[in-house]
Structure 1
Amino acid sequence: MNNALLHQFCGFLDTPQIWDKTVAFPYPAYNLKRLDLQELPENIHLPPTMVLGKRMERFFRFYVTHCSEERIIAHNEQIISEKRTLGELDFLLKNENTGQVSHVELVYKFYLYDPEIPAEAERWTGPNHRDNLSRKLDRLLKKQFPLLHREETRPLLDRLG
């Protein structure tokens, strides 16, 4: 792993969670373990122009594959019903020791604080004012995480065992 990529990977590992235990959110955050980065395999290659979200997905896949007790059983699986995409499951992981399956929605975004916005929850904005942290959390809560439990997702889950 080249030095710049190693620094980016370390930055990914050191990124604080979007919420902590004081925020009321019903789904737990995925916790990355601290690593001895001298022992990482050197087989991660990323084009320098890869966008942030895809880059973080690659780092996460690398982490799970080489540094955790889990394995990826599904990644970026689109759930389609009647030729309409209902959503996509980012990652389904299976713990090799316990057999427990986890659903991970990987969110890695930049938000800026805009004190001019009247509603506190919407002050953390993305690149445009339509995208904000409040909307993203609402989407996770009402659409992305519940997608796993929809009837249309059952064929994928059955196929995965």
Structure 2
Amino acid sequence: MTGNNDRRPPAVRPLARLAGGAALLVILVVLAAVGGLVWWLQAELPAGADRTTRENDRLHAQSLARGLSASAHDGALTDEEISRTLRTEPWAVRRTDRAIRVVATTTPALGTEPAVCWAFTLGLPLGADTSARTALHPDSCPERRPEAG
């Protein structure tokens, strides 16, 4: 007796090593793929969330612009109509002989997001074909008005 307890024929041993090596290689490839997927998700998910937030803000601003345009169809746009349409505070209005410009701070969908300021410009004269142009407000947002009383 030689002390060798391996009862497999000598030709099977290299095949077992080859199979073990192949299994190890497969495990390493799977781990590398999972690691790459985790890295990609970590890089892409926040960017996707930012795009979604910006798109939601843009859609909200377009909705407000349509509301301001509808309020101006009768030929006038009063402060009460602006307030009722925007349903948000604060906002500011500047009236010139060529346009009405409303700047509003919109409330974000989630409380953790920063507020966004939009400028809505309606050209004069106001009427049935009036539409509001929408743009992000480049300056600071209007300040909240103090509560009365």
Q: TM-score range by the shorter chain?
A: under 0.3
Greater Cα radius of gyration, structure 1 or 2: 2
More helix by share: 2
Larger relative contact order (C-alpha < 8 A, sep ≥ 6)? 2
TM-score normalized by structure 1? 0.25
